[in-house]
Amino acid sequence: MKNITISDVAEALGVSKTTVSRAISGKGRIGAETREKVLAYIEKHNYTPNVIAKSLAQSKTYNIGVMIPAEYDIIDLPFFQSCLFGIQEIAATMDYDILLTISKPEDTTQLERIVTNRKVDGVILMRTFVDDKQAKMLSKRGIPFATIGSTNVEKAIQVDQDHESACKELTSILLMKKLNRIALIGGDENHVVTQSRLKGYLDAFKEAEVPVNEDLIYLSVNNSVLLEQKVEEILEKGADCIISMDDALCGNVLKKLRAEHVKVPGDIKVASFYNSSVLENNVPSITSLSFDEKELGMVACRSLMDKIEEKETRMATTLGYQVILRESTK
Amino acid sequence: MKNITISDVAEALGVSKTTVSRAISGKGRIGAETREKVLAYIEKHNYTPNVIAKSLAQSKTYNIGVMIPAEYDIIDLPFFQSCLFGIQEIAATMDYDILLTISKPEDTTQLERIVTNRKVDGVILMRTFVDDKQAKMLSKRGIPFATIGSTNVEKAIQVDQDHESACKELTSILLMKKLNRIALIGGDENHVVTQSRLKGYLDAFKEAEVPVNEDLIYLSVNNSVLLEQKVEEILEKGADCIISMDDALCGNVLKKLRAEHVKVPGDIKVASFYNSSVLENNVPSITSLSFDEKELGMVACRSLMDKIEEKETRMATTLGYQVILRESTK
DNA sequence: CTGAAAGCGCTTACAG
DNA sequence: CTGAAAGCGCTTACAG
């Protein structure tokens, strides 16, 4: 049971392969009538083009590579999934598929393979790193690529969330609620994103002309033991609110507060980032910043497509956010 | 800067394209000396074959499709990640890549696309379902495919974990420790896997000739409110141990026990499944069944490859497990 | 052991 | 508006 080809269609219709090809692709001049005829025949005999042959003729693969880092916090997984979903949605509309690869950030062999084997037209990196070997490799080899998150590697298409403005707005809202001893707990202070958030937090204080208590800022809080200590300190210092830079952190903060019999929002307010399912069922519900992760994937994919098709390409995009106010800051 | 092709190599060496092709692929007779010469030249000028052209000539894509369900519990994500890793590892050794697609179980459009576009040589479904539309579609179209988890769809290559034996062994060990009021908490009782585990649990009691307390078995415990109730009942009934069918459930059990000031393992023992990072940092450490998820992906991929290459193929594989005894059952 | 030639199924200048 | 022909870069019977 062989597949029907463009030649079969041409022969059956008494036209040339060229004509059939043009009817399908819509490229080049062709009579409306002829086009209809070809399209009708194709539909009826459900001919589907061989993408591989098309690839070879056009030197395009109709695949984009997506790199997921093999090392991650469990909290990142839903993020990747959402992004992937967005990427796929856009890719599919252009008849592109996703070629997946998973590697440690410093390992470029998998990525080199798909690039060397010419199996992709471009690549999306789901995470950026300080010394980003993968991004550098792609940049050097002249492969179109997009990163989710910021990078200083040349030629990268970047799409990122506006962490700074988001954190600023959240903080401003809390300040307006007359909370002014707001503690901030965050992860690795060497991460660009941590610094962006901190800046947003500080800016909000400045704008509100409220003095910042620097001693309520705790960064690089990387493990739960450390976190418990910090929460104790925060309570001793009489903070009236705690902002956590991600939902995993916030989950641990809540756990500790419960252990200490500190009531939320009665004794202290709590706010978080990401609005992920991790805190979904928490009572009380948690005020949170929310980013559209699927949109992140969609924009990255769309920009990359533009680049691949040599259209005008937006090289850097910053996406918005939402502040979702809930019981924990009432 | 054009890529160097097989013709360039042939010309440079004064041999035919056929010879070069044979030297590379290792197929067909060729003089050792000639082969060396070709290989050396290729290495030196780092020629890399165009996989697309190879694909077209051989009617193979060197891609396998991997379907991840779009609806999932968050607990499943690390599982998918591990499986994917295993799949990639095997695929890469055979120069295959992963074409990823994400869909709801009842939606076959994405899958149809990659199949119709002939972009994959075979497919791995990461989850099976009761009325499995995707598996049926692949079966009907004669595409080689493997499922992770059991299915009754024809022509499927199946690889699954031995949930029944695993649960039986865990239960037996607990019975030997003179625990005999062992509660069992599980998810949806309509899932095949839930029933397998239940059977293992019951078999262990039978074999040990210990009467089962049917009223300590709680299935379809799907939300945390229900779970808290059930844990209270279990405590009232004076159980001496609780087995949870996954780590998310177990996490909630532990939370409830803590809230009730019930000590583990002092007042009650606890055991779980999966040995995932969810409970990794729990104090006390939790006794758990452990399955090798990466291995699951590796086996599925290897079997699928055999099928694609028309080698003898193992159509059903059941993988082993480990019982990891820790403090929570001391 | 080696090669000339046809073929995989498309696209795309070029000519009309 | 339409077509003959060359080309994309491989593989593989077939012949020698």
Judged against a pLDDT cut of 70, whether residue A2 lies above it is answered with: no
Residue A273 has pLDDT above 60, yes or no: yes
Q: Phi and psi of B199, rounded to 5°?
A: -60, -45
Three-state DSSP class for residue B13:
helix
Give the model confidence (pLDDT) of A75-93 as tens digits: 677 788 889 999 999 999 9
Q: Which amino acid is at A303?
A: S
Mean of pLDDT values over B158-177: 95
Beta bridge partners of B146: B124, B157
CA distance B35 to B60: 25
B81 touches chain A (CB under 8 A): yes
List CB contacts (< 8 A) between A3 and chain B: 118
Query: Which domains occur in chain B, in start order?
Result: 6-49 (1.10.260.40), 63-160+294-319 (3.40.50.2300), 163-291+324-329 (3.40.50.2300)
Chain B positions in Cβ-Cβ contact with residue A48 (cut-off 8 Å)? 116-117
CB contact, 8 Å: A140 with chain B?
Answer: no
Tokens (6 digits) for B231: 């844990």
Residues 6 or more apart from B123 whose CB is under 8 A from it?
A: B64, B65, B66, B67, B111, B115, B138, B143, B144, B145, B146, B304
Q: Which pLDDT belongs to residue B73?
A: 63
The spacing between the Cα labelled CA in B20 and the C1' in D13, in angstroms, equals 17
CB count in 10 Å sphere of residue A249 = 22
**Positions of strand C less than 7 angstroms from a protein CB:** 1-13
CA gap B219, B246 in Å, rounded: 12
- Rounded Cα distance, B134 and A26, in Å: 32
- Collapsing DSSP to helix, strand or coil, B196 comes out as helix
B277/A74 touch (CB, cutoff 8 Å), yes or no: yes
Q: Is B81–A78 a contact, with Cβ atoms under 8 angstroms apart?
A: no
Reported as a pLDDT band with limits 50, 70 and 90, residue A101 is very high
Name the 3-class secondary structure at B64.
Answer: strand
> In degrees, to the nearest 5, what angle opens at C-alpha A284 toward C-alphas A281 and A285?
60
Task: Find, in chain B, the residue whose alpha carbon is nearest to that of A69.
Answer: B81
The pairing of beta strand A287-290 with beta strand A322-324: antiparallel
Map residue B63 onto helix, strand or coil: strand
In chain B, what residues touch A55 (CB-CB under 8 Å)?
52, 56
Instruction: Give the C-alpha separation, B120 to B133, whole Å.
Output: 19
Averaged over A219-229, what is the pLDDT? Answer: 86
B30 touches strand C (CB under 7 A): yes
Which among A97, A224, A281 is the nearest to B224, CB-wise? A281
Subunit contact A88:B97, Cβ cutoff 8 A: no
Query: Is A45's pLDDT higher than 70?
Result: yes
Spatial CA neighbour of A197 closest among A274, A82, A105, A256: A274
Question: From CA A208, how far away is CA A223, in angstroms rounded?
Answer: 32
| Amino acid found at B143 | I
| A172 in Cβ contact with A312 (< 8 Å) | no
Neighbours of A242 (CB within 10 A): 28
Mean confidence (pLDDT) of chain B: 91
Closest CA to B218 of B256, B199, B254, B245: B245
- The rounded distance, in Å, linking the Cα atoms of A49 and A140 is 34
Find the Å distance, CA of residue A16 to C1' of nucleotide D3: 6
pLDDT tens figures, A18-32: 999 999 988 877 888
Of B53, B68, B119, Cβ closest to residue A97: B119
For B158, list phi and psi in degrees, rounded to 5.
-115, 135
Strand C close to A17 by CB, under 7 A: yes
pLDDT at A223: 78
* B239-280 confidence digits (pLDDT tens): 999 999 988 889 889 989 988 999 999 999 999 998 877 787
Q: Which residue of A has its CA nearest to B2?
A: A59
Least confidently predicted of A222-236, A300-314, B72-86: B72-86
| Nearest nt to the B54 alpha carbon by C1' | D10
Question: Which residue type sits at A42?
Answer: I
Tokens representing A292 are 């559209």
* Strand arrangement of the beta sheet that strand B269-272 belongs to: B217-218, B182-185, B241-244, B269-272, B287-290, B322-324
* pLDDT tens by residue, B105-151: 889 999 999 999 999 999 999 988 878 899 999 999 999 999 998 88
A153, A125 in Cβ contact below 8 A? no
Nearest by CB to A78, which of B51, B77, B100?
B77
A129-171 per-position pLDDT tens digit: 878 899 999 999 999 999 998 889 999 999 999 999 999 999 9
To the nearest whole angstrom, how far is the Cα of B62 from the nearest Cα of chain A?
Answer: 10
Dihedral sign of CA atoms A293, A299, A302, A308 in order: negative
Using CA atoms, how far apart are residues A299 and A151, in angstroms rounded to an integer?
A: 16
Write down the pLDDT at residue A75.
Answer: 61
* H, E, C per residue of chain A: CCCCCHHHHHHHHCCCHHHHHHHHHCCCCCCHHHHHHHHHHHHHCCCCCCHHHHHHHHCCCCEEEEEEECCCCHHHHHHHHHHHHHHHHHHHHCCCEEEEEEECCCCCHHHHHHHHCCCCCEEEECCCCCCCHHHHHHHHHCCCEEEECCCCCCCCEEEEECHHHHHHHHHHHHHHCCCCCEEEECCCCCCHHHHHHHHHHHHHHHHHCCCCCHHHEECCCCCHHHHHHHHHHHHHCCCCEEEECCHHHHHHHHHHHHHCCCCCCCCCEEEECCCCHHHCCCCCCCEEEECCHHHHHHHHHHHHHHHHCCCCCCCEEEECCEEECCHHHC
Q: Is the pLDDT of residue A128 over 80?
A: yes
Angle between helices B32-44 and B17-25 (to 10 degrees): 90
Is the confidence at residue B59, as pLDDT, over 80? yes
**Of B228, B206, B233, B204, nearest in space to B217 by CA:** B233
DSSP state of B106: T
pLDDT in tens, B185-223: 998 887 778 888 999 999 999 999 999 999 999 998 877
Residue closest to D5, CA→C1'?
A18
Q: Check residue A73 and give its pLDDT.
A: 63
Distance from CA of A50 to the nearest CA of B (A): 6
Positions of chain D reached by protein Cβ under 7 A: 1-13
CB contact under 8 A, B117 and A224: no
Q: What is the pLDDT of residue B194?
A: 86
Q: Is A213 near chain B, with CB under 8 Å?
A: no
Q: Which residue of A has its CA nearest to B280?
A: A74
Enumerate the residues of chain B whose CB falls inside 8 A of the CB of residue A68: 81
Which residues of chain B have a CB within 8 Å of the CB of A113?
A: 92, 95, 97
Interface membership of B290 toward A (CB under 8 Å): no
Residue identified by tokens 């925060």 is A234
| Minimal CA separation from A277 to chain B, in Å | 8
CB contact under 8 A, B51 and A119: yes
- Element spanning B68, H or E: strand B63-69
| A12 CB less than 7 Å from any atom of strand C | no
Question: Is the Cβ atom of A28 within 7 Å of strand C at any atom?
Answer: yes
Q: CB distance from B85 to chain A under 8 Å?
A: yes
Task: Look at A98 and B95 and tell me if their CB atoms are within 8 Å.
Answer: no
Q: Is the pLDDT of residue A1 over 60?
A: no
Cβ pair B119:A51 closer than 8 A: yes
- Tell me what the pLDDT averaged over chain A comes to: 91
H/E/C letters for each residue in B119-163?
Answer: CCCEEEECCCCCCCHHHHHHHHHCCCEEEECCCCCCCCEEEEECH
Is any Cβ of chain A less than 8 angstroms from the Cβ of B4? no
Rg, chain B, Cα only: 26
By the 8 A CB rule, do B294 and B85 touch?
yes
Residues of chain B found within 8 Å of residue A298, distances taken between Cβ atoms: none
**SS3 state of residue B98:** strand
Interface test with A, best of B90, B119, B255, B281 (most A CBs within 10 A): B119
